[in-house]
Every structure is written in C-alpha cells, then in structure tokens.
Homo-oligomer: A and B are copies of this chain.
Amino acid sequence: MESLTISEWLLTELKQGRFPPRMPSHRRVYEAIRRAIATQHLTPGARLPSTRSLAEELSLSRNTLLAAFEQLHEEGYVVSRIGSGTRVAATLPESFVPMRASGATTDAEPPMNTSGRNTSGLSKRGAIVAGPSDQPSYEVQPFTPGEDDFSAFPTQIWRRLLNRQWRDPQPAFLDYGHAGGHLPLRHAIANYLRMSRTVNLTVEQVLITSGTQQSIDLCARMLTDYGDRVWVENPCYWGARRVLEVNGLSLHPVPVDDEGMAPGNTDFRNPPRLIYTTPSHQYPKGVAMSYGRRRLLLDYAASRGAWILEDDYDSEFRFEGRPLSSLQGMDQSGCVLYMGTFSKVMYPGIKLGYIVVPPELAERFKRGLYELQRPGQVVIQAALADFIEEGHFSTHIRRLRQIYKERRYLLQKALAPVTNVGARLPPAGSGLHLVVELPAACDDVRVAELAAEQGLRVYPLSHYSVGEKREKGLIIGYAYASTDRITTYGRILADVIQAALSN
C-alpha cells in the first residue's frame, strides 16, 4: 500500500465504503484524509494534491473537496500558505486522530496457527482489552461524553506554578518520589476531602495514583484474586469494567434504580469480594444513592468482609440540592476505599488521581503502588499542591460549576421535546453528562449512529450494560460544546431522537 499515490490511497479508502450510509461526500473525504494522516500515509509537513486535481482523480465536485479541506484546516489538520499549497500540519491535533486507523482489520479474531499462538498473538485477557471500546472512532464532537472544555482552565497560573517548581528543582523532584505521592499534595487532598466530601481521613491514608484506571487496577490487585466475584452496577462505567475483567474477576451485575445500586436476593446469594460503586452520581445513569441504600451496602459489606470501592468521579459538579456525603464518611467498619481524579477539574492529561484507603492498608498499598506503577511526576504534584493551597482549585471549580450548570440547563431545554415521543429525561443534579432514556424496543445504537451522521457523537446506554438486560438510552456529554452552541446542537439531537422514535 506504501507505493500508492495519496490520491490512489484515498480512492481505495472511499470505495471501501466503511462510512455510515448517509454520510455526505465532503465528510467522507475529510474522514479519509484524516485516516491517511493517522496511518502515516500522509506525514506531518507532507503536501496535499490541489483540490482541483483531487476532485478529478476522485471523481468528485471541487466544492466537495473544498468543504473537506476547509474542515481539515479549521480543525488544525492541515495548514496552507500562499505559494506552497496545503500541507499536513507539523503538529497535529492529537486527540482528534482516530485510534483505529484501519478499522476493518481489528475486530475479527484470527484463528490459531500451528505453533499454538493465535495469529493475533494476544492472550484471552489481552483480547478483552483490545476488543471494541467506548472510545470515539472519529473525532471529538460536541456531545462526546467524557470530554471537557479546557478554555476555562487558568493556563497562565498553572504555568507560573510549574515554573516556580522548575526554577530550582530539588534533586528529589526528579526522582521517583515518595511511594505514597508528594506529601504536600496528599495534605492538600486530605484537607479538601475532609471539608468538601466529609471523607474521614488522615494524610497517611491518601495515595496519589496516575488516575482512575490505575486506582481501580491497584485496588483490584491488592484486594482480589483471580476468579473472585466483584459486584458492579448495571449499567457500569466502561473503563472500570475493563480493568476489573483484565484482573480475572467475575463481574456480577447489580441493577440500578432511582436510589442507586439496588442489590436483591439473587445478589445477596452471590457475595462479592469487592463492590465497585459510584454513589454520588451513578455512571452512566446519573442517580445519587439514597441514604438507606448506603447504609444497606455498608452493613452488607461489613458483615461479609467485602471491600467497597467508592468512585466519586464527578462529585465536584453538583448543581442543586445538598451535596451528599461520601460513603466513606458514613463507614464505621473501615471497608470503604474512596477514589477521585483531577482529570475533570484540571485536565485529563495531568494523569493524577488519588485513593483514600483504610489506615491498616496504607503502608501495604504504598508498597504495592511502588512495585506496580512506580511513582513520579513530583514537579506536577508539587505545582498541583500549590494550586489547591493557594485557592485556585476552588475558584476554578466554582467557575466550571457555573459554566456546566448553564450548559446542562440549555441542553435539557433543547432536548425537552423528546419526552413527547416516549423518551424520558430523568432528573440529574450533577455531573457532566445527561442520559435520555429510550423505550426498550428502541435500537439506541442506531439512534447514536444517526446522531453521528449529524456530527454529534453520543453513546448508546445499552453499550454499558453488563449481562443480558440492556437498558436503552443515550449518554450525552455537555462539558465539551461551548455554551453558545449547545442549544443549536441540542435541537439537532432532539430532532434525531424524535425522528427515530416516530419511525
């Protein structure tokens, strides 16, 4: 394939027809060129053929090519300068590059060859994590759940704090760092959690990790063995599920109702070693766990010697109602591990999160963290400690809360008409995404595809189900689209949903 010209390559790509049927031509060309960049058939700095010659070679109108080029230019994939034509940008908008450059070859499971290694070469657990994921295969679009708007992030302050650390770094700051994390950051987190989340803790219980995946992974490894049962909410956060599965755990799905995780008799007959839950804001459904349900879960875990892993991932963004205390703060028997992340309030690439473990586990978890992940990034940890201690963190949270509250309100308003055709918009007072519940007969994957054709990426709720029972709905993120565009996009999405349900 390397010897094809770029026009030939694009032609092949366009003919293979791996695009949604109703995707307009200019968008197909746009996608094909992005794939060419992602797969290095076009490298940074490479010159693209003119729109005129490409239009000829691909048998498309020149306007189609112009529209595709404009979008590529707008999103930073290409640059154009007078006299030198259009070139692939030297620095690409990385997060937008699709993960699966050639989607066709990655899903089928190849057969075993004679030497006993299947030709994919992956292990069974490897095949699980390399399987289809919840990740966008196209670019980030206005409603992509889990994506944030960084325009409000105080980059200048952050740069100043980082610079202060780098000006005269202590040698220790370049080393792996203390096993539990940078002490001033652990202090700052302990103070924050004590005040804002009623977490009951001393600084020794706080461990800095490199984010949610690593926190869940560490807990799974330190607390469970291969084949152990773990209760997960159904539907469940995809990232958690993958990490639990790769650790050889048997996932037992527990239904979620309007009071949160709702274990019944079938569940109680299957006691777990670990319970993974998102009580403040169930992912993805958004409900908060009721007081009674919290007590039930804590008492059950204590009586069974099970651990509870409380993922308080979105707790900073509660827009109405009294903030709920953490499960950890209600726990009398020391069976709760509490975790949070800085990826939403700061930025995802910061790769910092934390776990609060019961006192008697602290030393051992520190050792496990060191052995399995090696700490580091002390400079960033030190800057973050300053960011929190100097008050920038709470200022920034307040600001984000204001922004996201408005977006959520506008989105809810724009989506309101869907309730006329059988969809439901459950109340949600927190978080960075909404769920639209669709009737059981509805194909939510198809509705998500229809939305994608309009340039709106939303996730089908059924995708997050564990086991047979699949609830239908759409998960819609509102943290990424700018406030002034959210109504427009919301109306388009409402139209898509209404059209789908009216068919």
Q: Which residues of A contact B (CB under 8 A)?
A: 39-40, 44, 76, 91-97, 99-102, 105-106, 113, 115-117, 119-126, 129-131, 133, 135, 147, 150-151, 153, 155, 158-159, 162-163, 166-167, 169-179, 182-184, 202-204, 210-214, 217, 221-226, 228, 239, 242-243, 246, 248, 273, 303-307, 347-351, 358, 360-361, 363-368, 370-379
Contacts and interface: CB of A to CB of B under 8 A. Distances in A.
A123 B223 contact: yes
Contact of A123 (B95, B125, B159, B228): B228
A299 B34 CA distance: 40
Max chain B CB contacts within 10 Å: which of A76, A116, A162, A172? A172
Given A94-B378, A348-B174, A222 B304 contact: no
A212 B147 CA distance: 29
Contacts of A377: 349-351, 377
A133 B371 CA distance: 8
A106 B175 contact: no
Contacts of A39: 204
A379 B99 CA distance: 19
Nearest to A363: B106
A120 to B, nearest CB: 7
Nearest to A223: B123
16 contacts: A115-B305, A123-B223, A126-B223, A129-B368, A129-B372, A130-B367, A130-B368, A150-B174, A159-B167, A174-B348, A174-B349, A175-B349, A176-B349, A210-B376, A211-B376, A217-B372
Contact of A363 (B101, B162, B166, B178): B101
Contact of A96 (B172, B248, B358, B364): B172
Contacts of A99: 178-179, 366-367, 370
A105 to B, nearest CB: 7
